[in-house]
Structure 1
Amino acid sequence: MGCVQSGSCKPRFCDSITVLELNASIDQNPTTIDESSDVVLRYRTPYFRASAQVLVPPVLKKEIWTVGWIQACNQMDFFNHYGNEGLSSWELSDLRAGHVAALSDSDGVSYPWYGSTSEIFTVVGPTRRDTQLTVSMNDNFHPSVTWSVPIATVGSPAQLTGIRRDQRFTTWLVARNEGSGEVTLLRTLRWRMRVRIDVDPCQPLGQRAQLLEPLLQEQPQVLPKNEPIPLNALDKPNANDAQMLIWRPSSAQPIMVIPPKYTPTP
């Protein structure tokens, strides 16, 4: 733990912010599959959950400190296979090309925070007493995948044969001085979510998909030493706005089906 940016932060105050309790887990239940729609297959992964109790000492000055969660996506492999026709892929182009090591996983509004409700707690100084607070967050995937290839016309037959997904995230518990922008890293977590589903499109609706693995996800890691937060994890774009859907046919050039929502400002 320690201050990681220059500014007016007094190290003794930063070092006295204490994590009393930290819990991080992924629910111990398998990904569920929903075939109720004749247009899309839906699935829902178990939740990643993190919660921390933090003790902030008295803030003697007119300072504002925010304690909360910041998350970044480090890897996104998300492929939907359509037999010999090809595959579709949700992609983060800068991450895929290796131009950045991570992208913000903020809600797209509360940068750099993962969210603005239970995910953060603000302490407004001056305060006379210690402030004991709790911040919590959760995350999971609940996508819809078309039964037919993404560029098919309405009413095309089901051709989906499999889904493969593997994503990795780093999540930081952070205290930030809102005046100076100074950041104190309290804890660093890593977690991963994987999905492998096989699909037989020839079967009747409701009997097509089968979860192969994992039945239970790997549990998150609390790192023994904090890792610095990449700049890309603190600002736009967030992963949801940067992702795009690409159709990669077996015998033709890739086609962008859904472009990214985020357009950089010149």
Structure 2
Amino acid sequence: MGCIQSRLQGRCKPKSFRDSVVVLEVNSSIDPQPTSIDESSGVVLRYRTPHFRAFARVLVPPVASSETWTVGWIQACNHMEFYNTYGNKGMSSWELPDLRDGKIEAISDSDGVNYPWYGNTTETCTVVGPTKKDSRFSVSMNDNFYPSVTWGVPVSDSNAPQLTSIRRDQSFVTWLVAINRATAETLVLQTVRWRMRLHIQVSPEKPLGQRATLREPVAQEQPRVLGRNEPISHHAMVKPNANDAQVLMWRPKAGDAVVVIPPKY
């Protein structure tokens, strides 16, 4: 009654954005089909993992003040193992040095343009106040891996197939976030954790098209939409992103490691 009475007297302040934004629905999944393998090239093996997907419907009641808020998905990688073994020669590995060495707890997985957002199409929506009615909208994102792995040792000039195994294990935290464009106030609305694993066994002596076999997993572990939100990592919000920071190493069975592809950043 107090608020009704105050409103009649013109003194009822509207709720802040923080108090009024509502997540109507949120869901996340990884597509059920297994990782597919492409041996159409004599130079590289390609594989495509199933898609991770996140979707949310959000309601923002009227915004009285001249505020601008962007709501959307921000993602960070907090663990990466990506090893390609070449028999007794050694292995190549894509690595994130600061994450590998424990200097940071996560690294941005932004598209590299729209920091800190994962993307800027379906991934975000911006509400510009003042508004006179509810704003209802959905934001969605998807992610998967589609790399190329050389059949031959990456520091060799030969394409002779020597690849024997691919192992990958990556983990991510994905946040649904609202950010005030003027003040940078940041509200975590939802937190999702997910992981993508795979093991491909390769028989390099076999003909092209018959070499690689997916060993595990046939179906990925499904993402977890957390009941209690986790604070967003500082490193999820700033440069560099994972694609620009990663480095390809060659680690021979004997001898020193070699940088094959340095980081872009």
User: TM-score range, shorter-chain basis?
Assistant: over 0.9
**Whole-Å separation in 1 of the counterparts to 2:61 and 2:184:** 19
> Highest CA radius of gyration, 1 or 2?
2
The answer (yes or no) to whether the contact 2:178–2:187 under 8 Å persists in 1 is yes
Question: Where does structure 1 lack aligned partners over 5 or more consecutive residues?
Answer: 1-9
Listed as ranges, the matches of 1:167-206 within 5 Å are: 167-206=170-209
Counterpart of 2:244? 241
Counterpart of 1:27? 31
**Whole-Å separation in 2 of the counterparts to 1:52 and 1:83:** 45
Q: Which amino acid aligns with 2:220?
A: Q
2:129 is equivalent to residue 125 of structure 1: yes
Q: 1:95 aligns with which of 96, 99, 117?
A: 99
**Whole-Å separation in 2 of the counterparts to 1:177 and 1:157:** 54
The answer (yes or no) to whether the contact 2:27–2:225 under 8 Å persists in 1 is no
Count of residues in Structure 1 that have an aligned counterpart in Structure 2: 252
Cα gap change, 1:11/1:256 in structure 2, threshold over 3 Å: closer, same or farther? farther
Counterpart of 2:225? 222
SS in 1 for 2:88: helix
Q: 2:168 aligns with which of 153, 165, 169?
A: 165
Residues 109-148 of structure 1 deviation map (CA, whole Å, 9 limit, x = unaligned): 1001000110000001110011001000000000000000
Counterpart of 2:45? 41
Provide the TM-score with structure 2 as the length reference: 0.94
Shift of 1:224: 1.1
Q: Which amino acid aligns with 2:24?
A: L
2:20 is equivalent to residue 16 of structure 1: yes
SS in 2 for 1:190: strand
Q: Which amino acid aligns with 1:21?
A: E
Q: Which amino acid aligns with 1:144?
A: S
SS in 2 for 1:121: strand
Counterpart of 2:118? 114
SS in 1 for 2:71: strand
Q: Which amino acid aligns with 2:238?
A: D
**Whole-Å separation in 2 of the counterparts to 1:250 and 1:172:** 40
**Whole-Å separation in 2 of the counterparts to 1:65 and 1:233:** 19
Residues 176-208 of structure 1 deviation map (CA, whole Å, 9 limit, x = unaligned): 111110011100000000010000000000000
Counterpart of 2:210? 207
Shift of 1:45: 0.1
Cα gap change, 1:212/1:20 in structure 2, threshold over 3 Å: closer, same or farther? same
Cα gap change, 1:231/1:11 in structure 2, threshold over 3 Å: closer, same or farther? farther
Give the RMSD, CA atoms, in angstroms: 1.0
Shift of 1:11: 7.4
Percent identity, please: 64
Counterpart of 2:57? 53
Q: Which amino acid aligns with 1:26?
A: I
**Whole-Å separation in 1 of the counterparts to 2:203 and 2:175:** 40
The answer (yes or no) to whether the contact 2:76–2:173 under 8 Å persists in 1 is yes
Q: Which amino acid aligns with 2:254?
A: S
**Whole-Å separation in 2 of the counterparts to 1:13 and 1:40:** 50
Q: 1:64 aligns with which of 62, 65, 68?
A: 68
**Whole-Å separation in 1 of the counterparts to 2:214 and 2:145:** 15
- Spell out structure 1 runs of 4+ moving beyond 2 A: 10-13
Question: Where does structure 2 lack aligned partners over 5 or more consecutive residues?
Answer: 1-13
Q: Which amino acid aligns with 1:46?
A: P
Counterpart of 1:252? 255
Cα gap change, 1:43/1:56 in structure 2, threshold over 3 Å: closer, same or farther? same
Cα gap change, 1:114/1:197 in structure 2, threshold over 3 Å: closer, same or farther? same
Q: Which amino acid aligns with 1:139?
A: D
Q: Which amino acid aligns with 2:236?
A: A
Shift of 1:12: 4.1
**Whole-Å separation in 2 of the counterparts to 1:97 and 1:11:** 44
